[in-house]
């Protein structure tokens, strides 16, 4: 999904912010493979020092990795507005109220024309419809959804959208534009 986001980004530097980034597996391998990877400058935020250390070891010089709580806006200072915002693996691990607050904050984190990518499992109870509604209410338009790992992205209107690299094993991964 990040490949499509980088393909859609305006020419020049691309500002990246990945929250709860873990070892950076949702973003770093894709940056290394993508022709625009060298254009990316950004920050990965991870609370666990061990995971952050692994991400730091794999990250290019232009991508900083910080040990911080992604739930605090201070972790994003200087890294926003982002052209590419990753919220992968967060929404299945925090309370619905925290998900709602995070989604409401996305417009302040995302540059106009920027892309947000989020993932969440679809096991019962499937919270993805509610999360999608929160994004819509926040003014962030959905441009595609990847419903299951290995199935590709379905664009608006149900049409396939190609050129993607999967983001983990999530049940749903959504691509959004501000």
Q: Given this model, what pLDDT does residue 174 score?
A: 61
pTM, to two decimals: 0.84
41-50, 107-116, 127-136: range with highest mean pLDDT: 41-50
pLDDT digits (tens, 9 = 90+) for 55-98: 999 999 999 999 999 999 899 999 999 999 999 989 888 889 99
Contact between 103 and 168 (Cβ < 8 Å): no
pLDDT digits (tens, 9 = 90+) for 43-52: 999 999 999 9
Q: Is the pLDDT of residue 15 over 60?
A: yes
For residue 106, with 0-12 CB atoms within 10 Å meaning exposed, 13-18 middle and 19 or more buried, which class applies?
A: buried
Q: DSSP label at 37?
A: G
pLDDT class of 177 with cuts at 50, 70, 90: low
Q: Given this model, what pLDDT does residue 101 score?
A: 93
21 vs 151 pLDDT, higher one: 21
CA 144 to chain centre: 13
Task: Give the burial string for 62-88 (b: 16+ CB within 10 Å, else e).
Answer: ebebbbbebbeeebbeebbbbbbbbbb
Contact between 95 and 127 (Cβ < 8 Å): no
Q: Given this model, what pLDDT does residue 30 score?
A: 92
Q: Given this model, what pLDDT does residue 169 score?
A: 35
9 vs 149 pLDDT, higher one: 9
Residue partners of 39: CB distance under 8 A and separation at least 6:
6, 9, 12, 13, 14
Smallest Cα–Cα separation from 142: which of 155, 127, 152?
Answer: 155
Taking CA atoms, 151 is separated from 60, 71, 81, 86, 131, in Å, by 30, 31, 31, 20, 21
Contact between 26 and 55 (Cβ < 8 Å): no
- Give the Cα separation of 114 and 84 in Å (integer): 6
């Amino acid at each position: 999904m990040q490949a499509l986001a980088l393909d859609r980004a305006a020419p020049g530097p691309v500002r990246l912010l990945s929250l709860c980034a873990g070892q950076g597996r949702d973003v770093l391998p894709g940056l290394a493979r993508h022709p625009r990877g060298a254009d990316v400058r950004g920050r990965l935020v991870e609370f666990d020092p061990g995971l952050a250390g692994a991400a730091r070891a794999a990250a290019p010089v232009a991508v900083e990795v910080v040990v911080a709580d992604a739930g605090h806006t201070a972790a994003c200072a200087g890294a926003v507005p982002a052209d590419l915002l990753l919220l992968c693996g967060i929404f299945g691990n925090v309370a619905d109220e925290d998900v709602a607050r995070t989604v409401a904050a996305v417009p302040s984190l995302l540059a106009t024309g920027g892309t947000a990518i989020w993932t969440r499992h679809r096991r019962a109870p499937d919270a993805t419809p509610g999360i999608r509604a929160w994004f819509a209410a926040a003014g962030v338009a959905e441009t595609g959804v990847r419903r299951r790992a290995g199935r590709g992205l379905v664009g608006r209107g149900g049409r396939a959208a190609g050129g993607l690299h999967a983001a983990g094993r999530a049940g749903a991964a959504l691509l959004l534009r501000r």
